[in-house]
């Protein structure tokens, strides 16, 4: 979406100097309608009860906490625990939010969902929710991501969704969000099911609310099994929904360190275009209708970004996470593609768990952090998703299939526009 013709600030949707709405009036009206529907739904015990029922008997919550005794022993330091969002139905945290928003859409009388996706996990979760609730679903996905997350494209198609490959720009998550927003403006009767804590208000609040189950559960489970809180919790940060979901449970516990792990790609020192570490290297700006920290080029436009993890390949970040950085409540670090790949390998081999490449970023941080911790200290990492979708990336000989996907680049797909997969 083009940045702003009209500015609409919404005090409720701001986090310090971030968030708000920078959108045309046509979208502002839709966002007002969404905010009213969300408030009424959250105040309705039958909506909350239906959501709880779905999270329990459809998603399989609560997701467990697993202690990684082997890795902890190998690293000779603190104890590592995982919050197992990979064990949710559809294999990631994205389903928590997709079901919440789809239920909201149903309550609003909507019959069509629009979604963007990077790694395909949010697209799959949206397609799943649409199938369950008898709605149609169109998922916009960058053409590079269609190639590198092909397994999830098949899953979305099997679930009855239409997948539209976006060939604009870098052909990754930013362009998918652009296309989904444009499609919403064209069909305002549809419901835009946004997948992370980004976008104009009230989306960051809605997504945080539906993902807060992660932090609520994790805090309770950890207290029950250990009789105390973890010393530190960590999560990877793309748009920031799994991090915000986890952090929200511990915000008031000032003694618990909150660490967000950003995609350092080929290395921050290589400069713009080689990473997507927004909070570590970006500056204040507006993207996709909200104010936040952005990686931008010299002309102020969102810069090209790169991460081996399609779900982290985004030039902006959730406004609340940016605010938590400025207030010092959360800290952010970056790990490289290679470090994430090494963490992927180690979790597979040492614990028998195949992590999503997104989640492997948080694990890569854990591999560095644990040796610095004392044996009685605990680090809880959100394992945001499972890694079946990434096997073609990790074992690249199977990956090419007619496309050459390079660092942040798209070769072999020349023309602009959209195509249906």
Ligand X SMILES: Cc1ncc(COP(=O)(O)O)c(C=O)c1O
Given the rule CB under 6 A, which residues bind ligand X?
92, 118-119, 121-122, 196, 236-242, 311-312, 356, 358-359, 384-385
Please give the structure tokens belonging to residue 7.
């500015």
Cβ–Cβ < 8 Å for 369, 379: yes
Residue of 36, 93, 236, 361 marked catalytic = 93
CB of 354 to ligand X, least distance (A): 12
CB of 217 to ligand X, least distance (A): 16
Residue of 36, 68, 306, 323 marked catalytic = 68
Longest CA–CA separation in the chain, Å: 58
Cα gap 313→62, rounded to integer Å: 29
Q: Is the sign of the CA dihedral 359, 58, 132, 215 positive or negative? A: negative
The candidate with the shortest Cα–Cα distance to 195, out of 116, 124, 120, is: 116
122 catalytically annotated: no
Nearer to ligand X by C-beta: 106 or 208? 208
Cβ–Cβ < 8 Å for 187, 311: no
288 catalytically annotated: no
DSSP letter for each residue of 316-329: ---HHHHHHHHHTS
Nearer to ligand X by C-beta: 19 or 77? 19
Please give the structure tokens belonging to residue 204.
């960051």
DSSP letter for each residue of 265-316: ET-GGG-TTS---HHHH-EEEEETTEEEEE-B-TTSSBPP---SSGGG--S-
Please give the structure tokens belonging to residue 416.
């602009």
Cα gap 363→159, rounded to integer Å: 31
Q: How many CB atoms lie within 10 A of CB 38?
A: 21
HSE (CB half, 13 Å, CA atoms) of 374?
Answer: 4
Cβ–Cβ < 8 Å for 196, 207: yes
CB of 370 to ligand X, least distance (A): 21
Nearer to ligand X by C-beta: 206 or 312? 312
Q: Is the sign of the CA dihedral 414, 143, 113, 209 positive or negative? A: negative
CB of 241 to ligand X, least distance (A): 3
CB of 227 to ligand X, least distance (A): 29
Cα gap 249→380, rounded to integer Å: 12
| Angle of the 25-42 helix axis to the 203-226 helix axis, nearest 10 | 40
Cβ–Cβ < 8 Å for 306, 273: yes
CB of 189 to ligand X, least distance (A): 26
CB of 73 to ligand X, least distance (A): 26
Nearer to ligand X by C-beta: 106 or 122? 122
Nearer to ligand X by C-beta: 165 or 373? 165
CB of 237 to ligand X, least distance (A): 5
* CA R_g for the chain: 20
What 3-state class would DSSP assign to 225? helix
Nearer to ligand X by C-beta: 115 or 413? 115
HSE (CB half, 13 Å, CA atoms) of 312?
Answer: 35
Nearer to ligand X by C-beta: 196 or 393? 196
Nearer to ligand X by C-beta: 121 or 127? 121
- Hey, which residues are catalytic here? 68, 93
């Amino acid at each position: 979406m083009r940045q702003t013709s009209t500015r609409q600030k919404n005090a409720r949707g701001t986090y310090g100097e971030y968030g708000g709405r920078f959108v045309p009036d046509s979208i502002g009206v839709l966002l007002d309608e969404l905010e009213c529907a969300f408030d009424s739904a959250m105040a309705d015990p039958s909506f909350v009860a239906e959501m709880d029922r779905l999270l329990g008997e459809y998603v399989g919550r609560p997701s467990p906490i697993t202690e990684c005794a082997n890795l902890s022993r190998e690293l000779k330091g603190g104890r590592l625990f995982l919050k197992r969002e990979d064990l949710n139905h559809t294999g990631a945290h994205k389903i928590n939010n997709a079901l919440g928003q789809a239920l909201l859409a149903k309550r609003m009388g909507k019959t069509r969902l629009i979604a963007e996706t990077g790694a395909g996990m949010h697209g799959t979760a949206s397609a799943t929710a649409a199938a369950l609730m008898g709605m149609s679903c169109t998922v916009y996905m960058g053409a590079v991501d269609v190639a590198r997350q092909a397994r999830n494209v098949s899953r979305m198609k099997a679930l009855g969704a239409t997948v539209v490959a976006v060939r604009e720009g870098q052909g990754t998550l930013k362009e998918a969000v652009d296309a989904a927003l444009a499609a919403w403006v064209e069909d305002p009767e549809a419901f835009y099911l946004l997948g992370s804590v980004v976008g104009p208000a009230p989306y960051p609040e809605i997504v945080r609310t539906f993902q807060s189950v992660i932090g609520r559960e994790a805090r309770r489970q950890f207290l029950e099994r250990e009789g105390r809180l973890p010393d530190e919790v960590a999560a990877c940060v793309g748009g920031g929904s799994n991090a915000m979901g986890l952090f929200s449970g511990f915000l008031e516990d000032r003694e618990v360190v909150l660490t967000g792990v950003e995609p350092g790609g080929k290395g921050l020192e290589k400069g713009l275009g080689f990473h997507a570490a927004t909070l570590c290297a970006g500056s204040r700006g507006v993207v996709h209708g909200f104010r936040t920290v952005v990686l931008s080029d010299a002309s102020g436009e969102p810069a090209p970004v790169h991460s081996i993890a399609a779900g982290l390949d985004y030039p902006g970040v959730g406004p609340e996470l940016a605010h938590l950085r400025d207030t010092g409540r959360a800290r952010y670090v970056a790990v490289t593609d290679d470090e994430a790949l090494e963490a992927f390998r180690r979790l597979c081999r040492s614990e028998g768990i195949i992590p999503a490449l997104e989640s492997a970023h948080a694990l890569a941080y854990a591999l560095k952090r644990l040796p610095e911790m004392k044996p009685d200290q605990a680090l809880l990492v959100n394992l945001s998703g499972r890694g079946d979708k990434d096997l073609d990336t990790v074992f690249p000989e199977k990956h090419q299939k007619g496309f050459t996907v390079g660092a942040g680049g798209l070769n072999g797909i020349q023309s602009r526009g959209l195509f249906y997969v």
